[in-house]
Structure 1
Amino acid sequence: MSVARTHLPPERSASTIAALSVASTVGIGVGYPVISLLDQLAGLRAAYGLGFLLSIAALAIAWRVLPVEAPGERPRIDVAGALLLALGTLGLLLVLAQPSLWATAWLAGGILVGSLAILALWAIVEMRTAAPLVNLRLLGQRPVLRANLAMFIVGIGLYLLFSLLTRYVQTPAGAHYGFALPGVAAGAALIPFSLMGFVAGKSLPYLVARITERWAYALSTMIAIAAVVLFVAADRSLLAVLVSIALLGFAVGGVFSVMPKLVLVGVPGAETAGVLSINQIVRSIGFSTGSALAGFLLAAATPARSMLPTSDGYITAALWALPPLALSALIIAVRRSPRRPALPSTAS
């Protein structure tokens, strides 16, 4: 995205960045069924091997086609900042993704406190480094801060619902709900997710030109809310659940396509990569939080000596996605107008 903003004219860079933002959404609909099929045919190691080969292919393509920067002084790499940020976010994601750690409260608490301390040290280092990995003063500006906060919150709601839907369609037949779809079929159920994400990526730039980025973002979150409502109202219908998955795909594609423009308001071109990278990290932490919350809610809805949660547990868990979705829309859509200067008083 940073390369697109630097090397393309403004009228092309915006649409290219939007397309890059939703590329991962489109890839989900292809990756899930392909990897599931390979897992069934050749085993899990073969599936991971394909992922590794695809990563190598992506690196080779990037090396071949991305433009070469103009010759000049080589940029300084903030190695200390990179290591501290990686270590701090690793600790946060670990305590979110591994709920079993909380069985030993002192261990999980220690990792959490240590991670926050490392991130605080990272912030101090970044503020004092001549060439920081991330310009924290820039991240503190109101538009950038608001966009990152909304991205974190909406990520919780979107991935909470995504985790529920992908698990629900695979629920075994003995549970008396769900559809017992095998791995490949469950992966194919995400094709509507990717198709509608692609549609969102193509249509949102035209919509933004008419209703602005803020309202396009709010519309995307409202569509995600509609996906929740549809799932809650008609969870026993496979068609309804697939439509809910499709609506979620459009919402994810819409949020991803419009977020770069929201977070880059007033950001200099040289800071594009740093600001977008932090936004990606915030997105990942939001996703991990939503996934962990889905697991926690389903575990709470699982009766003793049972392997599966109740059907009502899925409904309750899906309803938990509504507050973060609505809150993120409000954060972006409701913008405080600048304070008007007071009029000078006139003597009578």
Structure 2
Amino acid sequence: MNTTQVVAKPRVLMAFLVAVGVILSVVIGSLGAPLITAVAQQYGVSLAVSQWTLTLALLAGAVATPVLGRLGAGPRRRTVMLAMLGAGVVGSLLTVLPLPFAFVLIGRALQGSGLGLIVLMMAVARDHLDEVRTAKTIALLSVASTAGIGIGYPLSGFITDVAGVRAAYGLGLAVTATAFVAAVFVLPQAPDRPSVRLDVRGAILLTIALPALLLVIGQTTLWQHHTGVALTVLIAALLLLAGWTFLEVHTENPLVDIGLLRHPAVAAANVVMFAGGIGMYLLFSMITRYVQTPSAAGYGFGLNTFQAGLVLVPFSLLGFVAGRLVPGWRERLGPRMLLTASTATVLVAFVLFATVRSHLVEPIVANGILGFGVGAFSAAMPGVILAVTPKAETASAMSVNAVVRSVGFSTGSALGGLILAAHTTGVFPRESGYGAAAWIGAAATAATLLIIAVLPLRRQ
């Protein structure tokens, strides 16, 4: 059988790929951020230590994504995907069993490595689905994390409140095990392509450089109190990445095809992804924090974890709707107009939150608008890159874009934290800090619009 043809049951494959994308986002994100306080209480550790249940998962995903992207370009893609789904099941089991906290961290790292599967699933869609279904599937996979937030945050918060942390982690075990079993029956073999030799030196160097970059960007306290140290680590990480790039250019079988990344459309898309990601995550993190601030601070609504999770439902719902609509708009509007319209939608959300937030409905509406903008932006981005990318390089090219997005999100989160810290004199920031951060984020988003206008986002 020619595995490059459309599979016998494309609807089943499409549903499986999208469902696994949502599952991964629920397990990695929703079992991290909402549970940090509960994990600290359950295991008797500080909040700073408990934060590593999220940080380790995200770092593992950032490192695994380009490695899996390269492995997915060869004929053993199905084996690699099953192995990673199996690792997710093992990691989920470690979080559920009554083991010391160190095993929870190992489990979360194994779960986080599954983030790299998203780009492999995009490659599966491109190899085994027709053009229309491929566009829809890749768009929905791009917004899977958006959809997963609205499902997972309130669900994990509710389960934790009712039955405890291990019960919430049990949800992760159930869904990852289900995804693994489904993959055994649904996941097709990769097309018959030459075997890909993994660039071990490049993988090791990236494993050092990328976590260092993401960690130093996200350490708000370090930037606030030890700026010199932060700058030193940042420069060292950037130099390591420069060295990694030089190594990849001069390697016969590189981890990432740097030549492909230099294509004007691909390079432009990654620049836009970084700039846009800063503003998008800045606003998302601010709204989440604002609604949970006790009203005794003079603002905020004092929502608990479950209630704050419900506030995120419009973000996810409208993001998913945008992901469904973008494939139909792509041919009529083109990549530049799509990215412009979605970024402008994010800018509207910024302005709304900056000007009105005294009633709960206002942050909710801003969050919904943000979700639609983020969903449309994320769904439009792969079209720019894949229009000039060979099928065999789908996973590798998209893995780099995913890493760029992670760096942009980390930068946006850190920027928001630094702005709020500058407006904090007691326990909580002054409300003026949220206004200042919103206007700075709006300026960054407006700058993204200018970048989109001038960069060569060409079709094939």
TM-score with structure 2 setting the length: 0.69
Question: Which structure has the higher relative contact order (CA within 8 Å, separation 6+)?
Answer: 1
The one-letter code matched in structure 1 to 2:313 is I
Residue in 2 that maps onto 1:332 = 452
Residue in 1 that maps onto 2:49 = none
2 CA distance for matches of 1:45 and 1:64? 29
Q: Could you say if the C-alpha distance between residues 101 and 335 of structure 1 is closer, same or farther in structure 2, counting changes exceeding 3 Å? A: closer
Q: Does 1:312 align with 2:442?
A: no
2 CA distance for matches of 1:128 and 1:256? 32
Deviation at 1:209, TM superposition (A): 2.8
Residue in 2 that maps onto 1:129 = 251
Structure having the higher Rg: 1
Residue in 1 that maps onto 2:141 = 20
The 5-angstrom pairing of residues 100-179 of structure 1 reads: 100-102=221-223, 103-105=225-227, 107-179=229-301
Match of 1:74 among 190, 195, 205: 195
In structure 2, list runs of 5 or more residues that go unmatched. Answer: 1-121
TM-score with structure 1 setting the length: 0.90
Counting aligned pairs with the same residue, the percent is 46
Per-residue displacement from partner, 1:114-139 (whole Å, max 9, x unpaired)?
31222122112211211111111111
Deviation at 1:73, TM superposition (A): 4.3
Residue in 2 that maps onto 1:344 = none
User: Is the 8 Å Cα contact of residues 95 and 108 (structure 1) preserved in structure 2?
Assistant: yes
Q: Could you say if the C-alpha distance between residues 119 and 57 of structure 1 is closer, same or farther in structure 2, counting changes exceeding 3 Å? A: farther
Deviation at 1:104, TM superposition (A): 4.1
User: Is the 8 Å Cα contact of residues 273 and 408 (structure 2) preserved in structure 1?
Assistant: yes
Q: Secondary structure at the match of 1:308?
A: coil
1 CA distance for matches of 2:408 and 2:453? 20
Residue in 2 that maps onto 1:2 = 123
When structure 1 is superposed on structure 2, of 170-179 and 53-62 the one drifting more is: 53-62
Deviation at 1:246, TM superposition (A): 0.4
When structure 1 is superposed on structure 2, of 114-123 and 67-76 the one drifting more is: 67-76
2 CA distance for matches of 1:221 and 1:104? 34
User: Is the 8 Å Cα contact of residues 127 and 191 (structure 2) preserved in structure 1?
Assistant: no
Residue in 2 that maps onto 1:346 = none
Q: Does 1:242 align with 2:356?
A: no
User: Is the 8 Å Cα contact of residues 215 and 333 (structure 1) preserved in structure 2?
Assistant: no
User: Is the 8 Å Cα contact of residues 269 and 457 (structure 2) preserved in structure 1?
Assistant: no
User: Is the 8 Å Cα contact of residues 268 and 456 (structure 2) preserved in structure 1?
Assistant: no
Q: Could you say if the C-alpha distance between residues 72 and 255 of structure 1 is closer, same or farther in structure 2, counting changes exceeding 3 Å? A: closer
Deviation at 1:59, TM superposition (A): 4.2
Q: Could you say if the C-alpha distance between residues 337 and 161 of structure 1 is closer, same or farther in structure 2, counting changes exceeding 3 Å? A: closer
2 CA distance for matches of 1:130 and 1:106? 38
Cα-Cα RMSD: 2.1
Q: Does 1:230 align with 2:352?
A: yes
User: Is the 8 Å Cα contact of residues 298 and 314 (structure 1) preserved in structure 2?
Assistant: yes
Q: Secondary structure at the match of 2:292?
A: coil
Q: Secondary structure at the match of 2:138?
A: helix
2 CA distance for matches of 1:38 and 1:242? 23
Deviation at 1:285, TM superposition (A): 0.7
When structure 1 is superposed on structure 2, of 195-204 and 109-118 the one drifting more is: 109-118
Deviation at 1:89, TM superposition (A): 1.1
Per-residue displacement from partner, 1:207-231 (whole Å, max 9, x unpaired)?
2232212111111111111111111
2 CA distance for matches of 1:313 and 1:50? 37
User: Is the 8 Å Cα contact of residues 218 and 330 (structure 1) preserved in structure 2?
Assistant: no
Residue in 1 that maps onto 2:321 = 199
The one-letter code matched in structure 1 to 2:345 is I
The one-letter code matched in structure 1 to 2:316 is S
1 CA distance for matches of 2:191 and 2:392? 14
